[in-house]
Amino acid sequence: MNREIALCLMEQELRKLQKLPYQKFLKVLDKVSTTTLQGADGKTYQLERQAFWDCKKGGNIRVMVCVDDGGLSAFKPLSGAFIISPDGTFVKEQA
- What confidence score (pLDDT) does residue 94 get? 55
pLDDT digits (tens, 9 = 90+) for 72-85: 777 889 999 999 99
Tell me the pLDDT tens digit for each residue of 23-60.
999 999 999 999 999 999 999 999 999 999 998 999 99
| Contact predicate 84/61, CB 8 Å | yes
Q: Which residue has the higher pLDDT, 39 or 71?
A: 39
Catalogue all structural domains in the chain, each as residue range(s) with its CATH number.
Answer: 3-91 (3.30.1300)
- Tell me the pLDDT band of 17, cut-offs 50, 70 and 90: very high
List the 90-91 sheet strands across, edge first: 33-38, 44-53, 61-68, 78-84, 90-91
Supply the pTM of this predicted model: 0.90
φ, ψ of residue 63 to 5 degrees: the values are -115, 125
